[in-house]
Structure formats: structure tokens, C-alpha cells
Amino acid sequence: MKRHRGHKAKVYFSPDQARAAEEQGHASRAMWNLIHDWWTLLPKQQRSLAAADEAIRQGRKDLPWLGVLPAQAAQQVLKTYFQSWRNCWDGRSEEPTFKGRFRSRMAIDIPQGRDLQIVRLNRRWGRMWVPKIGHVLFRWTRDLPAGKRADKLNKVTGARLVREADGWHVVFRVRTEVPEPGSHTGLTVGIDRGIVKPLALSDGSFREHGPWLTSGEAERLRRLEKAKERKRRSRKKGEKTSNRLTRTYDQIAQLRARAKRRAVDWQHKTTTGIAQQFSRAGVEDLKITNMVKSARGTVEAPGKNVRQKAGLNRAIAGEAWGRTVNMLEYKMADRGGIVVKVPPQGTSQRCSVCGFITPGNRDSQARFTCKAEGCGHQGNADTNAACNIDHAAGLAVSGLLSLRR
């Protein structure tokens, strides 16, 4: 079967190449905004892909600064914009909006893999071609089907240059031909996601991690946040952001990016281990966006415990539960396993032994004690919830869960 994956690598530009990439990144963002204005201002009957394509061609002729963006990259911006509307119409995302200069990430598409001309120079370095920039170096951390290793079934189909806090990266789109995975023979497991215990498994084990930043890094981040607020207060309304404040923003972004890289690394290693060990993983079908909504309320009806809820929201966002499930889904599928999402109602209050449900079953955040007569089951609350999730996943696979509901 065909497998489509992305591979990310660090890119190293020369100063001139970095400036050219910056210009292309700004032009790509401006192209998106122009297409968005064109789409929203025109009547519905005049909107079409052909008309948008003609508008892009004319815009690149009339505006020289748009011409720094390669034609294929401009076409890819149009395709991405139209796809975002399709996702909106299908209910998978919100409507596309204007991309702000400081709120959006720079990205440049290279839609054709043959334009990349990837060459491996040695064990650590590779070289590729970027239109209107030239040959650039990138870190070779994984074998790519490029050069003599490429064929019709195994090849790099395209790439995207992305600027992050620690510099530019390239994300290769890799297509490979792999054999169909056989049936996984491992056990089943239920996974409860939390804050104190990031992942609690139904077999009684936990997957835990420490702080993403060391104590020194956390203290430096705290000082930078205070410096940021102090410099923002001294800045007059409408005044241009100073170089010092911009540098402080960059330093904060670099620390947060470091924490995210460590979190993603832990998630990759943890989900790989789970996918190798278990054949079926049950998880709760959580509406995370609803869980992290602010409790501030309105002027007429102000919220309660706003600061506590804000801290909980930050903790939930820091664990990135959705990203963990996304990684687990494709890794389980690669190994012949499945991920089953079950309704979250009652998983933390139901006894995994007798099935009795009452809010009093959970004595505390970490302790579960069944109040049913003749049961008295005791154990870790997260492990009990994971057992309930595993049981519900088995019912969902067998079709009994839908009948019971």
C-alpha cells in the first residue's frame, strides 16, 4: 500500500538566501490575503478557481513584489485557500481568515518534488534546490527516497519551507510503498489522559514526564515575560515596536519552541511504544476546544474561579492531548492496530469491577473507592477510568456500545 508521511529537517540559509526566503514568505502571506479579499468581495456567481487563477497571474504582473514568489508556490497558495473553504463546508474547520504579519507562520510551498533535486552530501548533510533561492543545505536525519533511491512508487512528492522560532525548516512530503500490515497480536489497552498523570493505562502503568523546561530555563522565561510587559507598558499607542521588545519576543518564542520540541519528542517515543505493545487502544472522544474555554464570562454574568480555570486551561493545552491521539492513530494503523474513541461520560465515576456509577465513587483526584454494597473496589482513579475506557472500546468494536446507548 502507499504510505504518505512528512519528514521535517532543519535548513541552513546563507544571509542572502535568508533574506530571499523572508521576501517569499511575506509574498506568500500577502497572496493569501489578496485571494481572501478577492473571494469575499466578489458575488458568489463570479467566484471560481479559473477566475482566481487569472487574478493571481495579473497580480504578479502588476505588483513586482509579488513576483518574488515562484509561480508554482503562488498556485499552491490558491489551492490551499480553496481547500480551507472545502474543509469549512464539510465542518472540519472554521472559515479562512486574514493572516496577520505577526500572528501567522511564514511558509513557502514547493509543490513539485522533481524541483527539489535532493542530493545526500555525507552522513549528516543533504542539499536541495529552492526556486529563486538556489541550493541550500539541510540536516540529513532520515533516509529519503531521492536520487537513485527514488522511483515511481517511492519518492519525495513536494515540500514546504516553514519558519519557526529557531529558524527555517523544510517538511518533505514522502510517498513510499510498504506491505500491508498484518493483524496485531498484542493485548488491548484503555488510555486515560490527565494532568497529574499524563497517560494512565488500564494495565496499571503510567506514562509520565517531567517539566519541559529546566528550572533555569523556566526562571529565564519568567524574567523575559516580566521584561516584555514592562517594555509594552512603556510603548505608546500606535508607536512602532522597538528592537529591544522584538528581541524579547524572539527570546520568549525560542524558549517555548524548545519546550514544544521536547514535548513532541516525548509524545513520539511514548506513542511508538504503545503502538508496538498493544493491538487496540481506547481513548475518550474529548471536545478539547470546549474544555479550554475561558471562564471569564461577561460583564452582566462574570465567571467564577477565573484564574484557577485559566491555569487548568494552560495545563491541558501544555499536554496537547489531541496531538498524542493523532500520533497514536497512524502508528497503530502502521502496525495493524486500531484506536477506538469512546464517549467520555461516566468513565471516571464508574466502577471498573461492578459498573456502579455515582459521583461519590471518586474520593479524590487520585483515589477511587466504589460505594456499592458488596464491592468496595479501591484503586487509582486514573487507572480505573482507563479500564472503563478499554471496556467501552471493546463494546464499540463489537457493536454492543451503540445498542446500549
**Measured distance CA(223)–CA(219) in Å, rounded:** 6
* Average pLDDT over every residue of 202-219: 94
222 has pLDDT over 80: yes
Identify the weakest region by mean pLDDT among 247-261, 281-295, 361-375: 361-375
Q: Which of 266, 271, 264 is nearest to 339 (CA)?
A: 271
Q: 109, 329, 382, 390: which one is catalytic?
A: 382
309 has pLDDT over 50: yes
Q: Which of 167, 148, 71, 60 is nearest to 110 (CA)?
A: 71
* Average pLDDT over every residue of 211-225: 95
Identify the weakest region by mean pLDDT among 9-23, 55-69, 258-272: 55-69
Local confidence band at 405 (pLDDT 50, 70, 90 cut-offs): very low
3-54 residue pLDDT tens: 899 999 999 999 999 999 999 999 999 999 999 999 888 888 888 888 888 8
* Average pLDDT over every residue of 258-265: 94
19-28 residue pLDDT tens: 999 999 999 9
Backbone angles phi, psi at 326, to 5 degrees: -60, -45
Specify the pLDDT at position 299.
63
**Measured distance CA(145)–CA(267) in Å, rounded:** 26
Specify the pLDDT at position 399.
64
Q: 284, 319, 329, 390: which one is catalytic?
A: 284
**Measured distance CA(26)–CA(250) in Å, rounded:** 18
263 has pLDDT over 90: yes
Q: Is 61 exposed, middle or buried (0-12, 13-18, 19+ CB in 10 A)?
A: exposed
Local confidence band at 152 (pLDDT 50, 70, 90 cut-offs): confident
* Average pLDDT over every residue of 180-191: 91
Q: 109, 192, 319, 390: which one is catalytic?
A: 192
Give catalytic status of residue 192 as yes or no: yes
Beta carbons of 362 and 211 less than 8 angstroms apart:
no
98 has pLDDT over 60: yes
Cell numbers at 81, concatenated: 485557500
386-402 residue pLDDT tens: 999 999 999 887 765 55
Identify the weakest region by mean pLDDT among 166-175, 226-235, 352-361: 352-361
298 has pLDDT over 70: no
Angle at 260 between CA 172 and CA 109, to 5 degrees: 25
3-state secondary structure (DSSP) of residue 278: strand
Percent of the chain with pLDDT over 90: 57
Give catalytic status of residue 94 as yes or no: no
Give catalytic status of residue 382 as yes or no: yes
403 has pLDDT over 50: no
Specify the pLDDT at position 45.
83
Local confidence band at 278 (pLDDT 50, 70, 90 cut-offs): very high
Local confidence band at 311 (pLDDT 50, 70, 90 cut-offs): confident
Local confidence band at 292 (pLDDT 50, 70, 90 cut-offs): confident
The rounded mean pLDDT for the chain is: 89
162-179 residue pLDDT tens: 999 989 999 999 999 988
Percent of the chain with pLDDT over 70: 97
* Average pLDDT over every residue of 316-327: 92
Cell numbers at 250, concatenated: 524572539
Specify the pLDDT at position 221.
96
Q: In the 8-state DSSP scheme, what is residue 253?
A: H
**Measured distance CA(128)–CA(382) in Å, rounded:** 48
**Measured distance CA(372)–CA(375) in Å, rounded:** 6
The answer to whether the predicted template modeling score (pTM) of the entire model surpasses 0.85 is yes
* Average pLDDT over every residue of 272-294: 90
303 has pLDDT over 80: no
Local confidence band at 156 (pLDDT 50, 70, 90 cut-offs): very high
